[in-house]
C-alpha cells in the first residue's frame, strides 16, 4: 500500500468506524442474506425491493424463502433496529453511505444475461444520487458479465445523477460466493473477498467497510479492476461445475467396472491437495439458480468473442446426461414404466432450501411422466414450489414413508438428512418392490445391496 493509499484507507476507516449505513437493492437470496449478515456485523441496513409483499414480510421477520438461520438473524437485527425493509429506493440511498446492488440477472433464451433489473436499479440509484450530498459508494454484487459495471452501470449512474464516478460517488464490483442452504454462515465467514474497483478511493472505502466487519478473521482480500472481479465470479462457478461433471464422468466409468465406487475414488483423489475433496460428490449433477445460468452466460460470451468453449459445453452436456442416466437405471430395474409407481425423494436442487430452479427433480420427473409412470414425490420444504410446476400431474406425499407406499422404485434426488436416516427395512416395508436408485449416493452400498435391489450412481 502506498502512502496516499494508506492515508485514504485511514480516512475511510475513520469514517466507516461510526455507524455503517448500508442500503441493499433487491431482496433475493443474495440481497436478503447479505442484509441479515451485515446487520449482525453491526451495520444499519435499509433493505429495498420493488415487491411490497416481500418488504412487508421482511419487516415482519418472515423470510420469503427457506434458508437456515435467516429468520433468526432477521429477528435479532429487527430487535436491535439494524434492519428495515422499504420500497422507497430514493429514501434508502439518501439515508445511507453505501449501496449494494443484488438484483437478479436471469438467462435470456440465447444464454446471455438479462440485465433489465441491473439497468433499472442503476437508473433509480443514479436519480437518487442527484439529490444526495456527499460521497456515496455503489457496489454491484449481482453476477454480471465482464464490462457490465463499467460500460452499463457507470454511464447510467453518471447520466442520472449528473455526477462524476470517482470524485462524486464511488463504484465497485464485489462478487458474492454464498451458497443457498448455508448463506448466513457464508456471509459471516467468507473464504475470500474480491473487490473490483473503478478507482482507488472506491476500493479503499469498501475495503474499510469489510475490515470493520471481518476484523478478527483475516479473510484474504484481492483488489482488482471491475472486469476482472466480474470474471472471477463466472470462472469460479464454472470451475466448480467442471469438478462436478468431471467426477460424474468418473462415476459413469465406475459403474462399468465391478467393485469400484466413485465415492472412494473421489476420496482418494481429494487427498491430493492440488485437487481437494470438495465438490467431488458424484450424483445427478448440479442444478440451482447459479451454475446452469452462469455457465450458459460464459459460453455465450465465449461464442460472441469467437472463442471455442468446448470444455464448458462438455460440462453442460455431462450434467444434462446425468438425469437421463438415472432414468435409464430406473428402467433397467423396473422395465416399462407405464403405470409403474415411482417415488421421488427430494425435489429441491439441493438440501436445506426449497428452491427448485433447474432442480434435477424437474428433469427426472418430466422424463418419468413421458414414459407413463405414476409419480409420487416428497420433499421436506419444496412441495409448494413443486405444486406450482407439476400441478396435478404427480401426487405429493407428506412424509418419506408415505411417498414410498406401494412404489415400484424409489429415486433419491436430493440428499436431505431425513432421507439418510431411512433403513433398508423402511423401503422393504412400504414399497411394492424394494428397488432404490440412489442419485446422491447417500446410503452405504454394502448394507443396502445385501437387503434390497440397490443401484447408485457411480457404483460398479
Ligand atoms: C453456488 C456456489 O457454490 C456459490 O459459491 C455461489 O455464490 C452461488 O452458486 C451463486 O453463484 O450465487 P449454490 O448454487 O447455492 O451455490 O449451491 P452449491 O452448493 O454450489 O450446489 C450447486 C449444485 O451442485 C447443487 O445442485 C448440488 O447438488 C450440486 N453439487 C455440489 C454436486 O452435484 N456435487 C458436489 O460435489 C457439489
For the chain, give the secondary structure using H, E and C: CCHHHHHHHHHHHHHHCCCCEEEEECCCHHHHHHHHHHHHCCCEEEEECCCHHHHHHHHCCCCCCCCCCHHHHHHHHHHCCCEEEECCHHHHHHHCCEEEECCCCCECCCCCECCHHHHHHHHHHHHHHHCCCCCEEEEECCCCCCCHHHHHHHHHHHHHHCCCECCCEEEEECCCCCCCCCHHHHHHCCCCEEEEECCHHHHHHHHHHHHHHCCCCCCCEEEEEHHHHHHHHHHHHHHHHHHHHHHHHHHHHHHHCCCCEHHHHHHHHHCCCCCCCCCCCCCCCCCCCCHHHHHHHHHHHHHHCCCCCHHHHHHHHHHHHHHHHHHHHHHHHHCCCCCCEEEEECCCCCCCCCCCCCCHHHHHHHHHHHCCCEEEEECCCCHHHHHHHHHHHCEECCCHHHHHCCCCEEEECCCCHHHHCCCHHHHHHHCCCCEEEECCCCCCHHHHHHHCEEEECCEC
- 272 lies in the same domain as 159: no
The residue written with cell numbers 407428506 in the block is: 398
Hey, which of 30, 141, 174, 180 would you mutate to test ligand 1's pocket, going by the most ligand atoms within 8 Å of its Cβ? 180
| Distance (Å, whole) CA 181 – CA 179 | 6
Cell of 6: 494508506
pLDDT of residue 1: 46
On whether residue 246 sits in a domain, the answer given is no
CA-proximal residue: ligand 1, atom 30 (nearest): 286
On whether residue 232 sits in a domain, the answer given is no
- 386 lies in the same domain as 324: yes
| Distance (Å, whole) CA 40 – CA 82 | 8
CA-proximal residue: ligand 1, atom 6 (nearest): 177
- 106 lies in the same domain as 188: yes
On whether residue 236 sits in a domain, the answer given is no
- 196 lies in the same domain as 261: no
| Distance (Å, whole) CA 31 – CA 37 | 10
- 176 lies in the same domain as 313: no
pLDDT of residue 220: 96
Residue pLDDT tens, the chain, 460 long: 444 455 555 445 555 557 899 999 999 999 999 999 999 999 999 999 999 999 999 999 999 999 999 999 999 999 999 999 999 999 999 999 999 999 999 888 887 889 999 999 999 999 999 999 999 999 999 999 999 999 999 999 999 999 999 999 999 999 999 999 999 999 999 999 999 999 999 999 999 999 999 988 889 999 999 999 999 999 999 999 999 999 999 999 999 999 999 999 999 999 999 999 999 999 999 999 999 999 999 999 999 999 999 999 999 999 999 999 999 999 999 999 999 999 999 999 999 999 999 999 999 999 999 999 999 999 999 999 999 999 999 999 999 999 999 999 999 999 999 999 999 999 999 999 999 999 999 999 999 999 999 999 999 9
- 411 forms beta bridges with 344, 437
- 66 lies in the same domain as 131: yes
- Residue span of the structural domain in which 148 resides: 9-224
- 215 lies in the same domain as 276: no
On whether residue 402 sits in a domain, the answer given is yes
pLDDT of residue 2: 46
What CATH number is associated with residue 200? 3.40.50.720
Residue of 457, 428, 421 lying closest to 441 (CA atoms): 457
| Distance (Å, whole) CA 269 – CA 103 | 38
- pTM to 2 decimals? 0.93
- 444 lies in the same domain as 363: yes
* The ligand 1 atom nearest the CA atom of 179: 15
- Cα(179) to centroid(ligand 1), Å: 6
Hey, which of 193, 350, 358, 456 would you mutate to test ligand 1's pocket, going by the most ligand atoms within 8 Å of its Cβ? 350
CA-proximal residue: ligand 1, atom 17 (nearest): 179
- 309 lies in the same domain as 190: no
Last residue of a domain, one of 224, 248, 276: 224
On whether residue 248 sits in a domain, the answer given is no
- 300 lies in the same domain as 198: no
- 40 lies in the same domain as 175: yes
- 269 lies in the same domain as 334: yes
On whether residue 202 sits in a domain, the answer given is yes
- Cα(114) to centroid(ligand 1), Å: 21
Last residue of a domain, one of 224, 240, 271: 224
On whether residue 48 sits in a domain, the answer given is yes
Q: Which residues contact 321 (CB under 8 A, 6 or more apart)?
A: none
Hey, which of 190, 288, 318 would you mutate to test ligand 1's pocket, going by the most ligand atoms within 8 Å of its Cβ? 288
On whether residue 218 sits in a domain, the answer given is yes
Last residue of a domain, one of 224, 247, 273: 224
How many structural domains does the chain have?
A: 2
* The ligand 1 atom nearest the CA atom of 353: 15
* The ligand 1 atom nearest the CA atom of 350: 28
* Phi/psi of residue 42, nearest 5 degrees: 105, -5
Amino acid at each position: 500500500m502506498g502512502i496516499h493509499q494508506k492515508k485514504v484507507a485511514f480516512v475511510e476507516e475513520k469514517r466507516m468506524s461510526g455507524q455503517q449505513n448500508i442500503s441493499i437493492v433487491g431482496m433475493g437470496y443474495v440481497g436478503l442474506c447479505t442484509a441479515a449478515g451485515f446487520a449482525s456485523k453491526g451495520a444499519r441496513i435499509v433493505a429495498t425491493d420493488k415487491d411490497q409483499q416481500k418488504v412487508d414480510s421482511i419487516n415482519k421477520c418472515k423470510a420469503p424463502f427457506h434458508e437456515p438461520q435467516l429468520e433468526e438473524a432477521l429477528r435479532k437485527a429487527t430487535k436491535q433496529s439494524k434492519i428495515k425493509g422499504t420500497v422507497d429506493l430514493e429514501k434508502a440511498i439518501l439515508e445511507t453511505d453505501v449501496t449494494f446492488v443484488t438484483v437478479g440477472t436471469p438467462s435470456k433464451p440465447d444464454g446471455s444475461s438479462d440485465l433489465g433489473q441491473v439497468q433499472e436499479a442503476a437508473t433509480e440509484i443514479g436519480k437518487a444520487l442527484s439529490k444526495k450530498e456527499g460521497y456515496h459508494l455503489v457496489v454491484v454484487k449481482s453476477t454480471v458479465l465482464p464490462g457490465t459495471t463499467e460500460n452499463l452501470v457507470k454511464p447510467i449512474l453518471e447520466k442520472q445523477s449528473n455526477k462524476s464516478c470517482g470524485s462524486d460517488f464511488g463504484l465497485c464490483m464485489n462478487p458474492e460466493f454464498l451458497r443457498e442452504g448455508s448463506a448466513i454462515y457464508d456471509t459471516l465467514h467468507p473464504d475470500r473477498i474480491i473487490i473490483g474497483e473503478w478507482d482507488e478511493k472506491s476500493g479503499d472505502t469498501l475495503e474499510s467497510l469489510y475490515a470493520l466487519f471481518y476484523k478478527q478473521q483475516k479473510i484474504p482480500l484481492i483488489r482488482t479492476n471491475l472486469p476482472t472481479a466480474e470474471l472471477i465470479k463466472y470462472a469460479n462457478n464454472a470451475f466448480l461445475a467442471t469438478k462436478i461433471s468431471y467426477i460424474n464422468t468418473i462415476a459413469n466409468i465406475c459403474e462399468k467396472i465391478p467393485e469400484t465406487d466413485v465415492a472412494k475414488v473421489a476420496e482418494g483423489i481429494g487427498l491430493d491437495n492440488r485437487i481437494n475433496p470438495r465438490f467431488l460428490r458424484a450424483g445427478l449433477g448440479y442444478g440451482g439458480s447459479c451454475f446452469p445460468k452462469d455457465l450458459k452466460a460464459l459460453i455465450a460470451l465465449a461464442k460472441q468473442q469467437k472463442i471455442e468453449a468446448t470444455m464448458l459445453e462438455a460440462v453442460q452436456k455431462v450434467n444434462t446426461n446425468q438425469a437421463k442416466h438415472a432414468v435409464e437405471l430406473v428402467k433397467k430395474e423396473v422395465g416399462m414404466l407405464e403405470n409403474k409407481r415411482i417415488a421421488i425423494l427430494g425435489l429441491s436442487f439441493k438440501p436445506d432450501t426449497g428452491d427448485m430452479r433447474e432442480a434435477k427433480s424437474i428433469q427426472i420427473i418430466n422424463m418419468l411422466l413421458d414414459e407413463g409412470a405414476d409419480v409420487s414425490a416428497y420433499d421436506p420444504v419444496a412441495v409448494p414450489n413443486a405444486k406450482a410446476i407439476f400441478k396435478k400431474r404427480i401426487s405429493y406425499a407428506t412424509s418419506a414413508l408415505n411417498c414410498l407406499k406401494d412404489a415400484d422404485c424409489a429415486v433419491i434426488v436430493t440428499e436431505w438428512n431425513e432421507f439418510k436416516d431411512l433403513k433398508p427395512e423402511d423401503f422393504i416395508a412400504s414399497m411394492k418392490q424394494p428397488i432404490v436408485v440412489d442419485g446422491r449416493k447417500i446410503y452405504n452400498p454394502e448394507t443396502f445391496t445385501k437387503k434390497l435391489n440397490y443401484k447408485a450412481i457411480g457404483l460398479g
